[in-house]
Every structure is written in structure tokens, then in C-alpha cells.
Amino acid sequence: MAWTWRFEKSDGTEVAPAVTPEEFTTQGDAESWLGENWRELLDGGTTQVTLSEDGTKIYGPMQLDAEG
């Protein structure tokens, strides 16, 4: 299983992340990585993310800025 994040602007346009994500084998690993890197992602132009497992959307888009 591969867990991946899609990085987007608020309009849903995909953007390159400011921090290169690892390959995640569990949902928990993916979520922990996001928890450690969300501020740098936000500063780099990502405003929302979507989590997928093997191409199937699990949840999102989720705003990185609580005020967004």
C-alpha cells in the first residue's frame, strides 16, 4: 500500500510541495509527516492537501491554515 498527499492551492490547483514527501506505508506515517511539515508547506504555497491510498481518495481537501 502506498499513501500519498496531493498538494493544492485553495482553488484545487495542484502545486509542487515546498518539502519533498517520503513514501508512506501507513496512514499514520503520512499524517505524522504532514503534522511535522505543514507550516513549511503552507509557507511554500500549499493551502490544502488530500490523502490517497493507492490512488483512492481517503479524505480531503483539508486546509492547512485553520483560518482558511
The per-residue pLDDT for range 13-27, each reduced to its tens digit, is 999 999 999 889 999
Q: What is the mean pLDDT of the chain?
A: 94
Q: Average pLDDT of 22-40?
A: 95
% of the chain beyond a pLDDT of 70: 96
User: Can you tell me whether residue 35 is helix, strand or coil?
Assistant: helix
Q: Is residue 54 part of a domain?
A: yes
State the total domains in the chain: 1
Any bridge partners for residue 62, and if so which?
A: 49
Residues 6 or more apart whose Cβ sits within 8 Å of residue 59: 50, 51
Q: Is residue 56 part of a domain?
A: yes
Q: Is residue 36 part of a domain?
A: yes
- Say what the pTM is: 0.91
49: pLDDT strictly greater than 70: yes
Q: Is residue 68 part of a domain?
A: no
- Domain residues for the domain of 44 are 3-63
Q: Is residue 44 part of a domain?
A: yes
One-letter amino acid identity for 44? G
> Residue 67: pLDDT band by 50, 70, 90 thresholds?
low
